[in-house]
Amino acid sequence: MAVTTFVSRRPTLATAFRFGLRWGIGHSLAVFVAGAILLATGLRWGAGMETILEGAVGVALVGVGIWSLRTARNLHLHQPGEHRAHGHAVASLGVMHGLAGTTAVVALLPVTLLPERVLGLAYLACFGVGVTAGMATFALVAAAAMRRAAAGAPAAVERIARWAGAGSIAVGLWWLSRVVLLG
């Protein structure tokens, strides 16, 4: 949801690709660092940590959704370089998301079961490359779909941004409800 929300702000292919790369790199670095710490210390990924990080992701998604809804009306006012200021926020959200959700099961748990640290680091590196490529590809596809939808109706971009914002809020609230109910 966050990727779609950010891409809806300026759905050019180049901007979407850079966004997807930043998101994927942030996500991958968080997983790599957490996995490397687990490998070096022999610690295991605790359920309490995942609950805290999932709550933070939920809050971030609600925040991104509110921001998208508030700024959707002004999409036509953005200047080409304006979105660069959000690069650090994008990477930070990617970092937060990298440590929440299914990452513990898909990346961090298997790393703790591997017999050698080198294999664990290689696994984390491959996971990071895959996540980064996947996020960049998804961002490109989302931007292409949004551009196509808006081609005949410029107001469609605003509607897409509003739907993405509402969806981000809904997913964030769902994520938070899981933390409260399951945490």
Instruction: Give the integer Cα–Cα distance in Å for 136 and 117.
Output: 29
What percent of the chain shows pLDDT beyond 70?
78
What pLDDT sits at residue 136? 94
pLDDT digits (tens, 9 = 90+) for 52-108: 777 877 888 888 888 878 877 666 434 444 444 455 565 566 666 666 666 766 788
**Residue 173 to residues 44, 101, 128, Cα–Cα distance (Å):** 28, 14, 27
Q: What is the mean pLDDT of the chain?
A: 79
Domain boundaries, the chain: 2-182
Residue 169 pLDDT exceeds 60: yes
Cα dihedral 3, 120, 109, 49, rounded to 10, equals: -70
Does 46 or 62 have the greater pLDDT score?
62
Tokens at 174, concatenated: 């769902």
What pLDDT sits at residue 119? 93
What pLDDT sits at residue 46? 66
Confidence of residue 48 (pLDDT cuts 50, 70, 90): confident
Task: Report, as an integer, the average pLDDT of 26-41.
Answer: 88
Task: Report, as an integer, the average pLDDT of 155-171.
Answer: 83
Residue 130 pLDDT exceeds 50: yes
Q: Positive or negative, the Cα torsion across 68, 97, 24, 103? A: negative
What pLDDT sits at residue 175? 83
Residue 140 pLDDT exceeds 80: yes
